[in-house]
Amino acid sequence: MSDRTEISELGEFELIHQLTKDVKTTQPSTVQGIGDDAAVIDRGDHYELVSTDLLLEGVHFDMSYTPLKHLGYKAISVNLSDIFAMNGTPTHVTVSLAISSRFPYEAVNELYDGIKAACERFGVDLVGGDTTSSITGMMISVTAIGRVAKEKLALRSGAKENDLICVSGDLGGAYIGLQILEREKMVWKDNPEIQPDLEGFDYVIERFLKPEARADVIEELGKLGITPTSMIDISDGLGSELLHIARQSQCGVRVYEEKIPLDASTITQCQEFKMEPSVCALSGGEDYELLFTIPQSDFEAASKSEFFSIIGHITDAASGSAIVYPQGEEIQIKAQGWKSI
């Protein structure tokens, strides 16, 4: 690299790659280090899973429309999502906070009400953390610990040619929810007399403010006797996550645009913003649904489930990764912030 490289030129994935490419693991127990939703550590009779995430005010959340209780809930939920993305069960979390003096005790307590509600909902124990002051905005960092039976582990790298590509729930809602919140913020900035008009937008706004990690999907897969060959959670948009699976599994993907699951209210609100719903699903992000692949032999069991949809299949690497439109046209997937490495 030259003497000065702008981080924005690299993009997040290339930056992590450059910083960590010469990191070697020496512990025999390290099964999976950097590069998946969670690290995987061999604990003898099972694997331990560890994942950490950072939420920064002004980057990941905007205090003007984020209730603190929701924020606390989301901070836990999005971390647990990374444990579920390994086909695992979360057990413990630690929470670290940097708080500016702008916030009274009552506000931080509200944040903690959300954190505790999420811990209770997902049955995880809050076992530690750290607290400090911040001279800029608020910062919340959560580390989640979980476990998975060895034979149930799902990495990003296990997809095989002809596997079916599945996605849980519906996509694009969180992105359009954020657009609505941003629009109302602008209206309010111009005229503080006007109260935000959020009626009829409950579903998509909740998708953004209070995402629910898909514990139920992992339970369903267990009941169906399906172990995904690969899995990732959708934090950056379906397109970006498909490329992670493709690159790490050394394969290609074909996803059928008309099969991408969308909620009716997401479609309605996308029309209002003159946006294509599938584009919101592919590039939007923050849905925290699970994207996974299963062998064709699981088709029958999978097609009965109401928890997820089959949206495409895995191809060989040479075929690349594309979305297939109803007329048969194929568009190569290009994720935002992605630079191939």
User: By CB under 6 A, how many residues form the interface with ligand ADP?
Assistant: 9
Q: What phi and psi values does residue 35 have, to the nearest 5 degrees?
A: 125, -5
B/e letters for 218-255, b = 16+ CB within 10 Å, e = fewer, are: bebbeebebbbbbbbbbbbbbbbbbbbbbbbbebbbbb
Helices H, strands E: what count in the chain?
A: 11, 13
Q: Given candidates 16, 198, 267, 324, which one binds ligand ADP under the rule CB under 6 A?
A: 16
Should residue 206 be labelled a site residue for ligand ADP when binding is judged by CB under 6 A?
Answer: no
Query: With binding defined as CB under 6 A, does residue 34 bind ligand ADP?
Result: yes
Q: How far is the CB of 211 from Mg ion (least distance, A)?
A: 12
Residue 273 corresponds to which tokens in the numbers above? 């913003």
| Residue 100 sits in the site that holds ligand ADP (CB under 6 A) | no
Residue 241 contacts Mg ion per CB under 5 A? no
Closest approach of ligand ADP to the CB of residue 314, in Å: 20
Identify which of 226, 230, 203 has the alpha carbon closest to the alpha carbon of residue 297.
226
The residues in 211-240 that bind Mg ion, with binding defined as CB under 5 A, are 233
Interacting positions 226-245 with ligand ADP (CB under 6 A): 235
Reference 159, options 50, 296, 331, 285; nearest CA is 296
Minimum CB distance to ligand ADP smaller for 248 or for 268? 248
Residue 289 binds to Mg ion (criterion: CB under 5 A): no
Name the segment binding Mg ion (CB under 5 A); options: 36-44, 139-147, 196-204, 244-252.
36-44
Q: Is 159 helix (H, G, I), strand (E, B) or coil?
A: coil
**Region binding Mg ion by CB under 5 A among candidate stretches 29-37, 196-204, 275-283, 327-335:** 29-37
- Find the DSSP H helices in the chain: 7-10, 12-20, 68-84, 105-122, 173-190, 202-209, 215-224, 238-249, 264-272, 277-283, 299-303
* 144 in Cβ contact with 83 (< 8 Å): yes
Q: Which of 10, 37, 48, 171 binds ligand ADP (CB under 6 A)?
A: 37
Binding mask 42-71 for ligand ADP (x = CB under 6 A): -----------x------------------
Residues that bind ligand ADP (CB under 6 A): 16, 20, 34-37, 53, 82, 235
